[in-house]
Chains A and B, each alone.
Chain A
């Protein structure tokens, strides 16, 4: 049974642009290998951390919302721990209210003027 999760992770800011794309795609492919289905991705990009983590004051945030079997989460988190570029991550299981909230947020974001064409899998 596929549960719905959302995961957010922070990458070190020293990564170049295509490195970040590479690591992000690596995680998306890892999820797909576990039989997950990515619903939405948000790349928040470089943001200032509110408090320094590992002596860094900025980080590249990436957010993925996906449906996955429960076993996929353990492998995902192990991959996070192994990767030294990711220095903070948070995976959360979504209940039905959270799903409804994200759906409503998606429409509001999509309807902001630009026409939401086919749900292009933006993996930038």
Chain B
């Protein structure tokens, strides 16, 4: 039976690589406060140039994405995190 299914040609190309379900890590781990004072945690939400990653990549919910953005901006103000850089990580 499986042999037959191998010959099935799909009209549209099946998506390669299973896209794993994105989830908001703050809801899952029940984190309620994002501290602007520890930059190592915030670095995970920033790309190489130091820009804040969009929600579609990080998978955060809107409420926590805003908290992250605020924390990153505060950390930048206190020069714990750069405004712009290259090869940050």
Task: Write the residues of chain A forming the contact surface with B, with a CB cutoff of 8 angstroms.
Answer: 8, 10, 49-51, 53, 59, 61, 63, 88, 90, 92, 95, 97-98, 100-101, 105
Contacts and interface: CB of A to CB of B under 8 A. Distances in A.
Interface residues of B, number: 14
B10 interface: no
Nearest to B35: A101
A3 to B, nearest CB: 16
A80 to B, nearest CB: 13
B37 A50 contact: no
The DSSP consensus for interface residues of chain A is: strand
Contacts of A49: 79
A88 B33 contact: no
20 contacts: A8-B37, A10-B79, A50-B79, A50-B81, A50-B82, A50-B85, A51-B79, A51-B82, A51-B83, A61-B78, A63-B37, A88-B78, A90-B77, A90-B78, A92-B36, A95-B33, A97-B32, A100-B32, A101-B32, A101-B35
Interface string B48-89: 000000000000000000000000001001111111010000
Given A10-B78, A49-B79, A51-B82, A97 B33 contact: yes
The 5 closest A-B pairs by CB, nearest first: A97-B32, A97-B33, A101-B33, A49-B79, A50-B82
Given A98-B33, A100-B33, A101-B35, A8 B78 contact: yes
A82 B71 CA distance: 27
Nearest to B80: A50
A8 B79 CA distance: 12
A51 B78 CA distance: 10
A85 to B, nearest CB: 16
Given A63-B37, A97-B32, A92 B80 contact: no
Contacts of A92: 36, 74
Q: Output the residue of A49, A51, A61, A92 with the most chain B CB within 10 A.
A: A51
Contacts of A88: 77-79
